[in-house]
Amino acid sequence: MYILIGLIGALIGARTAKKHNGNIADILQYAVGFGLLFGILGLMVTIFLDRTVI
């Protein structure tokens, strides 16, 4: 689940950089940054749900 959320975050980051007329380095940096952020948040949500539902 957190990998999928990380990929969605990377797409959002790339779209944000492209929207601000960034070059390829900006697009990659935003994609990696957003991907990491969303991936970590997704991991926390996954752990929280796993521990509270069962």
Q: How is residue 20 annotated by DSSP?
A: T
pLDDT over threshold 90, residue 2: no
Residues 6+ apart with CB under 8 A from 44: none
The per-residue pLDDT for 54 is: 64
Residue 30 near residue 9 (C-beta atoms within 8 A) = no
pLDDT over threshold 90, residue 53: no
Domain that holds residue 30: 2-53
Q: How many domains does the chain have?
A: 1
pLDDT in tens, 7-39: 999 999 999 999 999 999 999 999 999 999 999
Residue 32 near residue 7 (C-beta atoms within 8 A) = no
- pTM of the predicted structure, to 2 decimals: 0.86
